[in-house]
Structure 1
Amino acid sequence: MKEPKIEKLQKMQLVGKHITMSLSNNRTAELWGAFMPVRDSVLNRANDNYYSVEVYPEGYFEHFNPNTEFEKWAAVKVEEVTDLPEAMESLTVPEGLYAVFPFKGTPANVPQFMQHIFGVWLPHSKYQLDNRPHFALMGEKYKNNDPESEEDFWVPVRLK
């Protein structure tokens, strides 16, 4: 695995749908299935990317349990939040440092990839997790369930 880029993210506004789930009760497909048919109703889109966002409760990683629930979002970035489409909400991702990990593969490869980030890279880095949203940025090279699919995982960090 390549070393991540450390990026300072400016405050970002997203619009989309969210669901409460856990890793043991993964409802990601249900969430995206509800979002994709109505994604074009979002006004003021900043780009063509999609954002898969996790908002974890405080202490989620210190006391990891696959049954602990968190908020999962399917969203797009907007220039400003105006006229929210029906059944959609906005999420503000505050500014801060992120470790950006490029990923290539299918969803089946993600758990091992994440295990490396949290079990190997993070403990040996000069960073610790910060309590802000985590997200995957799915751009033009993203191809759902394709081994050639590429996306970037953004993990919120701060100096130890």
Structure 2
Amino acid sequence: MLPKIIEQPAKKLIGFYIEMSLVENKTQEIWKQLMPRLNEVQQVVSADLFSLQIYPEDYFSNFTPFTPFTKWAAVEVKNFDTIPEGFQKIEIPAGKYAVFLHKGTTEMFVQTAQYIYGEWLPKSGYQLENRPHFEVLGDAYLGHENPDSEEEVWIPII
């Protein structure tokens, strides 16, 4: 599973976020906020959905499953001119990303993460950069419980 290395321009997203940890996983809560309100969003770039994580700077060096981080459920927009009431905005800064393809259920994601952070990254010559990590849920995303589901995993690197 070799990644594509992509120099990504900045992206504007709107959606909802929540503070959580891996032990106290609240991912479904923010998706339940976003999905019924997608039709309110104007100037959408594509039908892709974004699952985004903002980790504290020392998250990976002092990792525990209890360490809190910020989780987003969002959609990319052309600009921030029209934001529906209650939505929050975030801009992902431009930068280099390693893009992996995860195929399988959410439960299988731990294997993908172990490969990325435990095998690929230490041997790659790259380092993590303190920018948002995100997954793009596009046309091949069939739901978190479908073993044939696919999503792109974007890891910020330098």
* TM-score bucket (shorter structure): over 0.9
1:27 deviates by: 0.4
| 1:126-145 alignment, distance < 5 Å | 126-144=125-143, 145=145
Between 126-135 and 77-86, report the one with greater CA deviation: 77-86
Taking structure 2 as the reference length, what is the TM-score of the superposition?
A: 0.97
Match of residue 31 from structure 2:
32
Between 76-85 and 94-103, report the one with greater CA deviation: 76-85
1:29 deviates by: 0.9
Q: Which runs of 5+ in 2 are unaligned?
A: none
Residues 29-69 of structure 1 show CA distances to partners (whole Å, capped at 9, x for unaligned) of 11101110011111110111000000011110011011111
Match of residue 121 from structure 1:
120
Match of residue 151 from structure 2:
151
| 1:1-160 alignment, distance < 5 Å | 2-144=1-143, 145-158=145-158
* Residue correspondences, number: 157
Q: For the residues of structure 2 that align with 1:86 and 1:96, how far apart are their CA atoms?
A: 30
1:13 deviates by: 0.2
Taking structure 1 as the reference length, what is the TM-score of the superposition?
A: 0.96
Q: Which runs of 5+ in 1 are unaligned?
A: none
Q: For the residues of structure 1 that align with 2:105 and 2:138, how far apart are their CA atoms?
A: 15
Task: Note the aligned Cα RMSD (angstroms).
Answer: 0.7
Specify the code of the residue in structure 2 equivalent to 1:25: E
1:73 deviates by: 0.4
Q: For the residues of structure 2 that align with 1:130 and 1:152, how far apart are their CA atoms?
A: 18
Specify the code of the residue in structure 2 equivalent to 1:43: Q
Q: For the residues of structure 2 that align with 1:111 and 1:148, how far apart are their CA atoms?
A: 16
Q: For the residues of structure 2 that align with 1:25 and 1:40, how far apart are their CA atoms?
A: 29
Task: Give me the identity figure in percent.
Answer: 43
